[in-house]
Amino acid sequence: MTAVEPVELDGGTVRLRPWAPRDAQRTREACADPLIAEFIPLMPSPYTDEVSQWWINEGAPAAWQNGGASWAVVDPATDDVLGGAGMGQVVAERAQAEVGYWIAPWARRRGVATAATVAITRWAFAERGIARMELVTAPRNAASQRVALAAGFTREGVRRGAATLRDGSRGDHVVFARLATDPPGPVAPGLPDFPGGELSDGLVRLRRLAPGDAEAYFALSELPEVRRNNIGGPTTLEGVRERCALAESDWLAGIRAACVILDAATGEFAGDIGLYYQEPFLRQGIIGYGLRPEFRGRGLATAAARLISDWALEQAGLVRVAAGTFPYNEASRRVLERAGFEREGHLKARLPGPDGTRIDDIQYVRIAERYR
């Protein structure tokens, strides 16, 4: 590929410049961070002074020589290193490339990655003839997925087995892309965040499922009455941990809003509730929920079902929120009726049961008020 002369880019709140020997120490300090090691498997670990100096003196210049680009992302006022960013995987015949970055721990949650990504993509479109820029992330790296959306990249799907992990095994990439012809501005997530991060009515609080909820979530799912009603959910602790780790990524993709139910008075884990957006074209989702025994009979499930369906219908753009119940689950039907759901149908043999059997599904629905 044709070598490129290094250039500086103005990213507004950040400046992108070629690497310099004075950056070695800050680069080593930043790249010793465990998150960088986790999400950039090809990054050497441990990241030593020798590695840092090699990158500045040889690795980064080689990127320019090979037709790509590599910058130190710095504070415009102090010149302190905030991260690193670049363009690689250039496929000239497709006018395609890939943008990548890492951000130092001291510079996160300041929009640094977004500003750098926007600047690089704009330069690649205007100066390098790139028509399609890709951005790939690890499935668990929801922070990077938020960067992609904020920088105007659209989520296209999962590239299975595309990543080489640190232990040599294969992993997936979540793929985002931006075309030179795409409109300016960020791309909305598949489901909007809760305002302020939570929903609450004074009785319960709902927040996104998080990695720290795995043990409590698994203990709930192991209760016989909960396991009996669990269709398609994880059945092992490892599976639950994976769901918790991917909860934010699934939310951003518009797949599932998985939440925990907290007792508003004590903050205790009371149960779980989730909305699975299984029919975006029809703007319909399905909710399911479960409560620990000591929190039952107090209206918490009703409050949670009402809160999440209100949010779905009023803020997430859904028209229908459905919920299915087994014929024997009269308690769940009372919850739904108190939460404003109406019985809509009895679907025979719709659900898989144990040992190859099938179970009827009694369905309830709430409809957005403007369509009633």
Express each pLDDT in 297-329 by its tens digit.
999 999 999 999 999 999 999 999 999 999 999
**Residue 1's pLDDT band (cuts 50, 70, 90):** low
Return the pLDDT at 355: 82
Out of 135, 152, 179, a domain closes at 179
352 within domain boundaries: yes
User: Do residues 189 and 241 make contact, with C-beta atoms less than 8 angstroms apart?
Assistant: no
| Segment 205-228 mean pLDDT | 93
Asked whether residue 246 is assigned to any structural domain, the reply reads yes
**126-137 per-position pLDDT tens digit:** 999 999 999 999
Check whether residue 41 and residue 156 sit in a common domain. yes
> Residue 242 is part of which domain span?
195-371
Residue 216 lies in a domain: yes
Is the domain of 249 the same as that of 311?
yes
Cα–Cα distance, 306 to 190 (Å, whole number):
21
In this structure, is residue 344 part of a structural domain?
yes
Q: Specify whether 162 is located in the same domain as 297.
A: no
Q: Are residues 169 and 201 in the same domain?
A: no
Amino acid at the residue 246: L
SS3 track for 11-42 = CCCCEEECCCHHHHHHHHHHHCCHHHHHHCCC
Stretch among 62-76, 91-105, 233-247 having the lowest mean pLDDT:
233-247
- Considering the domain boundaries, does residue 184 fall inside one? no
Question: Are residues 350 and 227 part of one domain?
Answer: yes
CATH of the domain at 32: 3.40.630.30
Where is the domain boundary, 150, 179, 208? Answer: 179
Same structural domain, 78 and 174: yes
Q: Is residue 260 part of a domain?
A: yes
| Kind of pairing between the strands at 69-74 and 15-17 | antiparallel
Taking 70 as the threshold, does the pLDDT of residue 245 lie above it? yes
Q: Are 185 and 179 in contact (CB under 8 A)?
A: no
- Residue 2 within a domain: no
Kindly tell me if the per-residue pLDDT of 69 is higher than 70: yes
Which whole number is the average pLDDT over 191-211? 97
Based on the structure, what is the number of domains in the chain?
2
Strand partners, 272: 260, 290
114, part of any domain: yes
16 and 77 part of one domain: yes
**179-189: pLDDT as tens digits:** 999 999 999 99
Q: Secondary structure of the chain: what % helix, strand, coil (to 5)?
A: 35, 30, 30
Identify the bridge partners of residue 85 per DSSP, sorted by sequence position.
71, 101
Are residues 200 and 140 part of one domain?
Answer: no
**pLDDT, position 372:** 77
Residue 356 pLDDT exceeds 90: no
| Same structural domain, 94 and 155 | yes
So what's the pLDDT on residue 4? Answer: 81
Instruction: Give 78-114 pLDDT, tens digit per residue.
Output: 999 999 999 999 999 999 999 999 999 999 999 999 9
| Whether residues 49 and 160 fall in one domain | yes
CA-closest candidate to residue 231, choices 277, 191, 290 = 290
Query: Based on the domain organization, do 171 and 258 belong to the same domain?
Result: no
pLDDT of residue 292: 96
Using a pLDDT cut of 90, give the percent of the chain over it. 91
Residue corresponding to tokens 């015949």: 93
Do residues 201 and 174 both lie within one domain? no
